[in-house]
Structure 1
Amino acid sequence: MKKWLLPMFMVVVLVLAACGNKEDSAKKENEDNASSTAETITYQSETGPIEVPANPQRVVVLSSFVGDLIQLGVDVVGVDSWAADNPNFKESIKDAVVVENTDIEKIIELDPDLIIGLNGIENADKLAEIAPTVLFTYGKVDYLQQFIEIGKVVNKEEEATKWVADFKKRAAEAGSEIKAKIGENATVTVAEMFNKQMYVYGDNWGRGTEILYQEMGLNMPEKVKQDALKPGYFAISSEVLNEYAGDYVIFSTFNGQESSIADAPWYKDLEAVKNGHLFEINGNAFYFNDPITLEYQLTFFKEKFLQ
């Protein structure tokens, strides 16, 4: 090759290389943009892959997951009656419509782009014809992983995962403080009066049980462990609550029953009441185990146990 051609050849090579790099960069950028603005994503549900909107705008929730979506900043247009009665959700779902899985026409009118509910509900096939429908089996994964799964469905897994890590850390720290205050061996019972029926709860049935027993590591009375741990809850008569009551009792009531319960003989006989260790709470606000409710429960426990 003649010497004067060499510089010219090198220039051409460099220009072509630069063009190629620019095209590759542009292609990658386009691919990234396409990925971030994709209209749908695929969620691996319990029953197989489901194509769901990458940025859902109108979600109908037919179960206990409303608080998960509120935490993730996702708009909810339809909710179940339990969520509608939760004062922690009131402002976030003020424009949402109360629906059940049987309200097919009502749900169609809401024009949802995503439906979330629990497995085994009636009309699941009809709901799937209205919008992509993701159903979960309660308890199939633990309560924090459930939030992460909701995050995956609405394309916010990273955000959900970060919240879970932070919550576990804060709950564990609070648990250490509480045990230092009440003693390592102190026991805690979670009980509830609903429609004149008394219940005690295990460690995975909402009402603060997950925080108290799983994250804080507080002790469950043996009688509660024996009857309620495996099924999640156990119905008892109010007269035998003393047999299940620990050193501390978290007691939920609904529909303004507080005054009538406080006057009941069995209530006055509880050691936890005599010692000022029974903490009453609005059951509607304490019912779930989503991030909004968990934050409320954690604040409540810190205020009551550490006061």
Structure 2
Amino acid sequence: MKKLIIPFILMCVLIISACSDSTKNQATEDASETITYQSENGPIEVPAHPERVVVLTGNAGDLISLGINIVGVDEWSMESPLFKDQLKDVTVVSDEQIEKIIELQPDLIIGASDNNNLDKLKKIAPTVIYTYNKVDYLTQHLEIGKAVNKEKEAQDWIDDFKKRANTVGNKIKEKIGENATVTVMESYDKDMGILGDSWGRGTEVLYQAMGMKMPEKVKEMTSKEGYYMISSEVLPDYVGDYLIVSKYNGQDNSYQNTDLYKEMPAVKNNHVIEVDGNTFLFNDSLTLDYQLNYFEEQFLK
């Protein structure tokens, strides 16, 4: 009986060992597999299954929503409360910290066309760069999906988001009127600006996804740069029926205590919606979902 058991045990060991070797070989093949991504600067070979990504743009939320592991991220992304849990163990890096990025051993870098040291970054890992607002916000999400081999997942989110935003937009316009206008402004340090339809801070959701209208003067002045810097004294000239105010903690918001501000119709009618600047800064998929839900709650409450 013992003579029969020993060969059986040996056979099991060999089978387990073979399965283990097969798994290791598969993992190695997966790690070395690449795809060709058609970037804005031409084709580039990138990992088919990236495992260690450094992000030097405001697109961390897109990668998080697609289930991509981030090992390094820009400082602004780290400031978003929406990414706090997902980025808690991630290293903050900049395009100037080449040695720090090398230590992270990335297999893919997502950068911006205006990043410094792009030649050095490309020597560390395949580097895909994007130019801000070169494509619309939904196409940007799709492009990032393609770059990390998650195109279907990205497209599924886009299709769902468009439906949800259209439904919410119709509800809001039914309540406030089809022709009601909305202005988005931001005060940061001593600067104040009004924003166009593609500058983060909820503008894509309001104007593009939900179809809200902006005042003609805002449309005119933001048509070139996407934003327009003003002084607080002329703010009433740009404010429509509703005002979205993007605010940052610790900033000087004393203009809100002036008679000029308080006498604006949007303020007197309680049509001001304040948002946290760090939370609303980006236009990635996670942030867009949050913005849509927030606007639905605020406009329809």
Task: Give the shorter-chain TM-score range.
Answer: 0.7 to 0.9
Aligned: 1:227 with 2:227: no
In structure 1, the residue matched to 2:294 is 300
Question: 1:213 Cα shift?
Answer: 0.8
- The answer to whether the 8 A contact 1:221-1:244 is kept is yes
Question: 1:36 Cα shift?
Answer: 7.8
Mean Cα deviation higher: 260-269 or 169-178: 260-269
In structure 2, the residue matched to 1:86 is 80
Distance 2:60 2:255 in 1: 30
In structure 1, the residue matched to 2:263 is 269
**1:166-219: CA deviations, max 9, x gaps?**
000100111100000000110000000011211101111111111111111111
**1:89-126: CA deviations, max 9, x gaps?**
10010111111101101111111111001113210000
| Residue of structure 1 aligned with 2:98, choices 83, 95, 104 | 104
Larger radius of gyration: 1
Question: 1:265 Cα shift?
Answer: 3.5
Distance 1:36 1:104 in 2: 27
Q: Any unmatched runs of 5+ in structure 1?
A: 1-33
Question: 1:230 Cα shift?
Answer: 2.9
In structure 2, the residue matched to 1:185 is 179
**1:216-246: CA deviations, max 9, x gaps?**
1111101101101332000000111110001
Distance 2:275 2:105 in 1: 36
SS of match in other structure, 1:185: coil
In structure 1, the residue matched to 2:170 is 176
Q: TM-score, normalised by structure 1?
A: 0.86
Aligned: 1:58 with 2:52: yes
Question: 1:42 Cα shift?
Answer: 1.0
- The answer to whether the 8 A contact 1:201-1:229 is kept is no
Alignment of 1:67-82 (within 5 A): 67-82=61-76
Distance 1:167 1:66 in 2: 18
In structure 1, the residue matched to 2:135 is 141
In structure 1, the residue matched to 2:16 is none
- The answer to whether the 8 A contact 2:190-2:252 is kept is no
Aligned: 1:282 with 2:276: yes
Distance 1:233 1:303 in 2: 26
**How many residue pairs align between the two structures?**
275
- RMSD of equivalent CA atoms: 1.8
Distance 1:125 1:36 in 2: 27
SS of match in other structure, 2:82: coil
Question: 1:256 Cα shift?
Answer: 3.0
Mean Cα deviation higher: 159-168 or 248-257: 248-257
Aligned: 1:215 with 2:186: no
In structure 2, the residue matched to 1:23 is none
Percent identity between matched residues is: 59
Q: TM-score, normalised by structure 2?
A: 0.88
In structure 2, the residue matched to 1:13 is none
Q: Any unmatched runs of 5+ in structure 2?
A: 1-27
- The answer to whether the 8 A contact 1:79-1:99 is kept is yes
Aligned: 1:194 with 2:188: yes
Output the amino acid matched with 2:78.
Answer: A
Residues 96 and 266 of structure 1: CA distance in aligned 2, closer, same or farther (over 3 Å): farther
- The answer to whether the 8 A contact 1:202-1:230 is kept is no
- The answer to whether the 8 A contact 2:189-2:251 is kept is no
In structure 2, the residue matched to 1:121 is 115
**1:66-96: CA deviations, max 9, x gaps?**
0000110101111111101000010010111
- The answer to whether the 8 A contact 2:81-2:279 is kept is yes
Distance 1:42 1:208 in 2: 33
In structure 1, the residue matched to 2:4 is none
SS of match in other structure, 1:88: helix
| Residue of structure 2 aligned with 1:95, choices 89, 94, 103 | 89
Output the amino acid matched with 1:178.
Answer: I
Aligned: 1:155 with 2:149: yes
Distance 2:30 2:127 in 1: 22
Mean Cα deviation higher: 264-273 or 50-59: 264-273
